[in-house]
Chain A
């Protein structure tokens, strides 16, 4: 009996020391890892919330498979990075919501569809129409570039659905 207690104590001490060492290394590396994860998207994130404090949300549940990344902006809202099949190629974009679910800004990062037709979705003329839309407002497409703009709307709707389900 005393033997078992002795073994248990010994293992507990070893695990305690190991845990302490890991906590120490984690404290040093965690902020750097978070920073690295944001680095690639930082410029776009700041276009949407100019003075936000961003944090990547892990393990996002998403059946639509359109959400690539989700960022929480401390006390301000959320930003979704989305990829959707356009007319020829994947369209990727970021859309930010404030805490009420209103769209703050839509930024289309890359679109490879027909020049001057599908690529219109990237123009400010189109993307600024999204700003201030409520969660339930319908979103406009561009006539003549229906496939590309519908894809953008589809992706933004997926983000809105995720927002309503999780943060509303």
Chain B
């Protein structure tokens, strides 16, 4: 039960993006469309799981005073591996995510989970925490990019990052009614603000209204 809680925490209660406000920089930048969001999400899950497991595995031999440099070396290694793999096998994803792949290193979610969770928990819980938090982050990206792509282009297009073929396409809003502003930074901030408000509402404990009806 406890393991399961670790896993589900990442979605709403401790959703890294909209509840903890971690990793916002990349979230704002790469959520123009679902493809980028999924690519980024998968990369982050990979890095998060690998670094969580690795840190949990060697947590007993890491000297306390130099734990942060050790975390950063481990995280940076996995990020560089992901970057090389994306450059080699998914060049279109590499060009649309650009520098934000390398910037996963400084994504607060990963260092945050290493420090707050993996360093004091077992390998198995850290693995689940990594998957849960990573999926929570991916779900946030998908939610936000889904809204932005829908409003900006009128629907969703998913392409295979390895072959660049269009896998699925769904158009809902006619072209005349799309608001292309939502693919711009301004749309990112608007969407982010509204979703942040929604999550704040969901996470507020239900208390009696103060000074309401008698």
B85 neighbours in A (Cβ, 8 Å): 25, 29
Please measure, in the bound complex, the distance between the C-alpha atom of A18 and the C-alpha atom of B81, giving whole angstroms: 10
A33 touches B73 (CB 8 A): no
B87 touches A15 (CB 8 A): no
B91 at the interface (CB under 8 A from A): yes
For B48-74 the 0/1 string (1 means CB < 8 A from A) is 000000000000011101100110011
B88 touches A18 (CB 8 A): no
Q: Known contacts A6-B63, A33-B88; is A14 also within 8 Å of B70 by CB?
A: yes
Q: Known contacts A33-B88, A36-B91; is A11 also within 8 Å of B73 by CB?
A: yes
B73 touches A15 (CB 8 A): yes
Majority SS at the chain B contact face? helix
A18 touches B74 (CB 8 A): yes
What's the nearest-Cβ distance from chain B to residue A157, in Å?
A: 31
Kindly identify, within residues 123 to 171 of chain B, every residue whose CB is under 8 Å from any CB belonging to chain A.
none
What's the nearest-Cβ distance from chain B to residue A58, in Å?
A: 13
Which of B69, B70, B84, B85 has the most chain A CB atoms inside 10 A of its CB?
B84
Task: Kindly report which residue of chain A lies nearest to residue B66, judged by CB atoms.
Answer: A7
A60 at the interface (CB under 8 A from B): no
Please measure, in the bound complex, the distance between the C-alpha atom of A30 and the C-alpha atom of B63, giving whole angstroms: 35
A21 touches B66 (CB 8 A): no
B81 touches A7 (CB 8 A): no
A25 neighbours in B (Cβ, 8 Å): 80-81, 84-85
B88 neighbours in A (Cβ, 8 Å): 28-29, 32-33, 36
Q: Known contacts A7-B66, A10-B66, A22-B80; is A29 also within 8 Å of B73 by CB?
A: no
Kindly identify, within residues 17 to 37 of chain A, every residue whose CB is under 8 Å from any CB belonging to chain B.
18, 21-22, 25-26, 28-30, 32-33, 36
B66 neighbours in A (Cβ, 8 Å): 7, 10-11
Q: Which listed residue (A6, A18, A28, A32) contacts B73, Cβ 8 A?
A: A18
Q: Known contacts A25-B81, A25-B84, A33-B88; is A7 also within 8 Å of B73 by CB?
A: no
B77 at the interface (CB under 8 A from A): yes
Please measure, in the bound complex, the distance between the C-alpha atom of A15 and the C-alpha atom of B66, giving whole angstroms: 13
What's the nearest-Cβ distance from chain A to residue B55, in Å?
A: 11
Please measure, in the bound complex, the distance between the C-alpha atom of A19 and the C-alpha atom of B69, giving whole angstroms: 15
What's the nearest-Cβ distance from chain A to residue B105, in Å?
A: 12
A30 neighbours in B (Cβ, 8 Å): 84
Task: Kindly report which residue of chain B lies nearest to residue A36, judged by CB atoms.
Answer: B91
A21 touches B81 (CB 8 A): yes
Please measure, in the bound complex, the distance between the C-alpha atom of A135 and the C-alpha atom of B81, giving whole angstroms: 44
B189 at the interface (CB under 8 A from A): no
B81 neighbours in A (Cβ, 8 Å): 21-22, 25
B89 at the interface (CB under 8 A from A): yes
A36 neighbours in B (Cβ, 8 Å): 87-88, 91
B69 neighbours in A (Cβ, 8 Å): 11
Please measure, in the bound complex, the distance between the C-alpha atom of A32 and the C-alpha atom of B85, giving whole angstroms: 10
- Interface CB pairs A-B, < 8 A, 30: A10-B62, A10-B63, A10-B66, A11-B69, A11-B70, A14-B73, A14-B74, A15-B73, A18-B73, A18-B74, A18-B76, A18-B77, A21-B77, A22-B77, A22-B80, A22-B84, A25-B80, A25-B84, A25-B85, A26-B84, A28-B88, A29-B84, A29-B85, A29-B88, A32-B89, A33-B84, A33-B87, A36-B87, A36-B88, A36-B91
Would you list the 4 A-B pairs with minimal beta carbon distance, nearest first? A29-B88, A18-B77, A32-B88, A29-B84
Besides the known contacts A14-B70, A25-B81, 11 further A-B residue pairs in the complex with CB atoms under 8 A apart: A10-B62, A10-B70, A14-B73, A14-B74, A18-B77, A22-B77, A22-B81, A25-B85, A28-B88, A32-B89, A33-B87
